[in-house]
Amino acid sequence: MAKPFADSAGNGLHMHISMYDGQNQNLFLGPDNVGNPPISDAFRHAIGGLADTMADCMAIFAPNANSYRRIQPGNYVPLTPNWGHNHRSVALRIPACDGKNMRIEHRVAGADANPYLVLAAVLAGMHYGMKEKCEPHGEMIRAGELFEDETVTVPYRWDTALDTFKAGTVLPEYFGEEYFELYERVRRSECNQFYAQVSDVDYAWYLRAV
Average pLDDT per 10 consecutive residues for the chain, totaling 210 residues: 90 95 93 83 97 98 96 86 89 90 95 97 98 95 70 93 97 97 98 95 86
| 210: CB partners within 8 A, 6+ apart | none
The string of DSSP letters for 76-111 reads: S---S--EEES-TTSSEEE-S--GGG--EEE---BT
Its CATH architecture, for the domain 15-207, is 2-Layer Sandwich (3.30)
Look at the pTM and tell me if it is higher than 0.85. Answer: yes
The backbone torsions φ and ψ at residue 8, rounded to the nearest 5 degrees and listed phi first, read -120, 160
Classify residue 197 by its DSSP letter.
S
Domain boundary assignment for the chain: 15-207
Q: With beta carbons less than 8 A apart as the criterion, state whether 86 and 192 touch.
A: no
